[in-house]
Structure 1
Amino acid sequence: MDRGRHALFPLVTPAPADAVGLRSERGPILLALMVSTGLIAIDATILATAVPSIVRDLGGFSQFPWLFSVYLLAQAVSVPVYAKLADTVGRKPLILLGIGLFLLGSVLCGFAWSMPALIAFRAVQGLGAGAVQPMAITIAGDIYTVAERAKAQGYIASVWAISSVVGPTLGGIFSQLGIWRWIFFVNVPLCLLAGALIVRNFRESVQRREHQVDYLGAGLLTVGMTLLILGVLEGGQAWAWSSPTSLAVFGVGGLLLLLFVLVERRAAEPVLPLWVLTRRLLATTTFLAMGIGVILIGLTSYVPTYLENSLGVSPLVGGLALAALTLGWPIAATLSGRLFYLRYGFKPTVLIGMTLVLLGSGGLALLAHTPSVAVVAVTCFVTGLGMGLVATPSLIAAQASVAWHERGVATGTNMFARSIGSAVGAAVLGAVANAVIASSGRPETDPTTAADSGAAVFLAVFVAAVLTVVAGLLMPRVSAQEVQQKGEGQERPAEDGVEAEVA
């Protein structure tokens, strides 16, 4: 990539660490980022609690993994495009575009008349989420130093903590009342508020330059991944695994992904720069994000359904059990800076987190054949604590190790990896669950079948956690100060200006 073509650099002068907060000079921007993050945080848990209700109304239990896969795939393939544009046209236009698309997708989902229609409209939501989440994280990386982010992350993590309770609770209530469509309509006022706060409080002055978007690479990645997910989800259902159709789907999907890699090597501004994988810190944090994506989707999409079908509990109870996972995550993320990576470094923090993930996911898999709400809640909480010590520190390490004009790409790649992990994970775990249900000869609502399929899914999640540990072990051992100094040493001169400021 020709860095000389970029004319982007933040001119924000970092404020003292004690100036981090909603009442500080940058407080209005932080509030805007918190509300924007809330859109994605609530969506991460609110839908899973209503899956049985949606299936009863629209049908197609075997298709429900698509509700998560298509959303995450759209998010994943759009993240690198948005990240590239963010480094050339600025962050603000893209986060507003993302909020608009998320709003449109939410309204369409609320009016969906069939499972295929709902799946298609979830893709629109995913395109919006692909801009909102990474842009919010990137803006925070722009206006806060590494040390400041440890405090700023506490505010952003509080959004996930609140959403971890609000999301499942709303989803459960709407489901029990038979108005599951409000799961999507509730996003409308949140989107309007988030957009208004961004417009009012965040300014950036960008000297726009001509740029080339790698549409060919994005198209090859989208179609290739869609075919692979289609093959995994429909194999053994719509067609036999060894059928010509199955072989053709996997073959063409694999070929397109190979072409994608070749295109990325020659693209002037690749949608997924391969140089990211040549830096050990970025490569290992990317694979950590992918593993976290698999673990996260495996629990968030199956825990409520597992409890509702195996024990007959209400959607609200199933949702609150899942809330333990998303409550543990922000608690650990908030404490990770002050208690761990600022003192001991990023790698020890990640390894401590992965140990907790192994304990939580292993315990859940081991005890899944004897369903218990309490056991699920405790193991999910421990797993969430672990993921909070892995996801946030590894992302901050990746952000801080690169210059500003690379930060959008580094952030986007990390989010891309998590989304791809979740999209593929949803497909693979869905195939595992469907295979167990099909072999039992009983419906998915049968308690024994639900327990067996849940146990199989949770065992697969544990295996994914074991593989993710490898990336943590290969992560280079650097301190927060070393990473920050390296990143600052790569910054562009101040005259290449993009300015972000408080309105």
Structure 2
Amino acid sequence: MLDCFFLCLAICSLMLLLSPYSFKNFTACAIIICFMVSILCLIYCESVAPEPLFPVELWRNRLIILSNVGSLSIGAGMMGISAYLPTYVQVVFDSNTFQAGIALSMMSIGWPLASIFSGKLLSITSYRFLILTGSLLLIFGNFCLAFLMPFTGIYMSYVGSFMVGVGMGFLNTTLIVAIQNSMRKEIQGISTASLLFSRMLGSGLGTALFSALLNFTLSRKTPYFKDPIQILLNGKLHNTFKQFQLDFLIQTVAQSLTYIFILAICFSSIPFIIGLFFHVEKTEQPQ
């Protein structure tokens, strides 16, 4: 139980460290100390536990390390789309919540379709090929979102979101199957669980990092406006400002959200780099 406690404490400390409020006074120093102590205690508990959460064998396996890093980056990049694409569609394109929902749902549509298709391709291609293909599709989708402009239209956001979902489907399915086919039966379960845990951890860290980036850019560019996004989305607040002020806020929010999509491109480039070093032989499973 202690290892679970220290793991949660380390994760919470890291997420707090990424928040924009952690740099006031000595808060950041306290959080860093808490994080380091938690990690050291976690390592000690894992080394003496008869049944550790993460067996040492996992972290000595090159495939496990590469797959978990890839899954972590996938989870982090995914949150940039899930959390902020609807906001971009509503604020910049002046669209309603239904259109924002369509933009986000395109990723949910592309993901399962790509998972099915990649499952069929696994028997005739290599893991490396599918990882590189999924990474390129993911990068392309994030590029579409990073270059969104008022004149590009809302349909480009649909395309970008769909391509991100397709890339996620290719990567997630391939990494899971690669681990399950390459690990011995005794650790297949924990190996797969570690992959899913990494993706969820990446989602949490990505949310904190993207939020910190957005708050930082908005506070620097709009110091005299308390909450620019809320002003643009709230009809009552919207009507209390002049048009030139609203235009300035829309432009500023669009630029700030573009930084988030650019950061998502960086995260989506990590699986591509991993794919270049991903060498594993596929094994035939017994019928």
User: Normalising by structure 1, what TM-score?
Assistant: 0.50
Aligned pair partner of 2:23 in 233, 240, 261: 240
Which digits, 9 at most, give the CA deviation of each residue in 1:197-241, with x for residues without a partner? xxxxxxxxxxxxxxxxxx1111001011111111211x3xx3536
Query: Counterparts of 1:448 and 1:419 in 2: how far apart (Å)?
Result: 32
Aligned to 2:280: 477
Aligned to 2:35: 253
- Whichever residue aligns with residue 476 of structure 1, its letter is H
Q: Cα distance 1:370–1:247, how it changes in 2: closer, same or farther (>3 A)?
A: farther
- Whichever residue aligns with residue 423 of structure 1, its letter is G
Segment drifting more, 222-231 vs 304-313: 304-313
Aligned to 1:5: none
Query: Counterparts of 1:337 and 1:467 in 2: how far apart (Å)?
Result: 22
Aligned pair partner of 2:251 in 415, 423, 448: 448
* 1:273 and 2:55 are equivalent in the alignment: yes
Query: Counterparts of 2:74 and 2:152 in 1: how far apart (Å)?
Result: 24
Which digits, 9 at most, give the CA deviation of each residue in 1:282-331, with x for residues without a partner? 22221111111011111111111221122221111101011111111111
Aligned to 2:242: none
Segment drifting more, 223-232 vs 401-410: 401-410
User: Pairwise CA RMSD of aligned residues?
Assistant: 2.0
Return the offset for 1:374. Answer: 0.8
Aligned to 1:178: none
1:40-439 to 2 correspondences below 5 Å:
215-233=1-19, 235=20, 238=21, 240=23, 243-338=25-120, 340-367=121-148, 372-439=153-220
Query: Counterparts of 2:211 and 2:57 in 1: how far apart (Å)?
Result: 33
Q: Cα distance 1:477–1:272, how it changes in 2: closer, same or farther (>3 A)?
A: closer
Give the conservation status (yes or no) of the 8 Å contact 1:304–1:318. yes
Query: Counterparts of 1:306 and 1:217 in 2: how far apart (Å)?
Result: 40
- Whichever residue aligns with residue 279 of structure 1, its letter is N
Q: Cα distance 1:432–1:461, how it changes in 2: closer, same or farther (>3 A)?
A: same
Which digits, 9 at most, give the CA deviation of each residue in 1:7-56, with x for residues without a partner? xxxxxxxxxxxxxxxxxxxxxxxxxxxxxxxxxxxxxxxxxxxxxxxxxx
Aligned residues: 265
Give the conservation status (yes or no) of the 8 Å contact 2:70–2:270. no
Query: Counterparts of 1:421 and 1:370 in 2: how far apart (Å)?
Result: 33
Return the offset for 1:378. Answer: 0.5
Aligned to 1:145: none
Return the offset for 1:479. Answer: 2.5
Return the offset for 1:359. Answer: 1.3
User: Normalising by structure 2, what TM-score?
Assistant: 0.86
Segment drifting more, 243-252 vs 428-437: 243-252
Return the offset for 1:402. Answer: 2.6
Return the offset for 1:371. Answer: 6.5
Segment drifting more, 355-364 vs 403-412: 403-412
Return the offset for 1:405. Answer: 3.4
Query: Counterparts of 1:448 and 1:372 in 2: how far apart (Å)?
Result: 15
Which digits, 9 at most, give the CA deviation of each residue in 1:230-286, with x for residues without a partner? 1211x3xx3536x31112112211331232123222221111223212122222221
Give the conservation status (yes or no) of the 8 Å contact 2:15–2:205. yes
Give the conservation status (yes or no) of the 8 Å contact 2:16–2:22. no
Sequence identity (%): 25
Q: Secondary structure at the match of 1:422?
A: helix
* 1:459 and 2:262 are equivalent in the alignment: yes
Query: Counterparts of 2:93 and 2:163 in 1: how far apart (Å)?
Result: 22
Unmatched tracts of structure 2, length 5 or more: 233-248
Query: Counterparts of 2:260 and 2:117 in 1: how far apart (Å)?
Result: 30
Give the conservation status (yes or no) of the 8 Å contact 1:240–1:246. yes
Aligned to 1:151: none
Return the offset for 1:352. Answer: 0.9
